[in-house]
Amino acid sequence: MDDTKSTASGAGQPAPAARTSYEPRPKNGPGGRRPGRFQGPRPPRVCPFCAQKSKVIDYKNTDMLRRYLTDHGKIKPRRKVGTCARHQRVLAGAIKRARHIALLPFVSEATRGE
């Protein structure tokens, strides 16, 4: 007779070796960076209104104000646009003033269902 006993879990096969320590994932690119990610430090973001040294953000300049609206008509956040806090507040006020006198839409035409 055969002296090996079959068990319900492995039918005579050895158990897999247990991991004793954490093994990190292999590094993908040079320096351990994933390809296609950020390359080095970013340049400092400068407010476009501070760079132009503009004193006033005019609510009648709708072409300029439309650049700071999304496709749905919402005001873009300053982390996406790069404006400073002061100019973001002035910009939001100018957009709201232009909406109120119907120079800019509150919502896009696609949202309205027309």
Position 32 in a domain: no
Position 36 in a domain: no
Which CATH number goes with the domain that contains 65?
4.10.640.10
Domain range for 92: 56-112
Position 73 in a domain: yes
* 97 band by pLDDT with thresholds 50, 70 and 90: very high
Tens of pLDDT along 3-31? 555 555 556 777 666 666 777 766 666 65
Position 88 in a domain: yes
* Arithmetic mean of pLDDT, 98-103: 96
**Following CA atoms 29, 31, 36, 40 in sequence, which dihedral angle do they give, to the nearest 10 degrees?**
-170
Tens of pLDDT along 55-66? 899 999 999 999
Report the distance separating Cα 85 and Cα 51, nearest Å.
14
Number of domains in the chain: 1
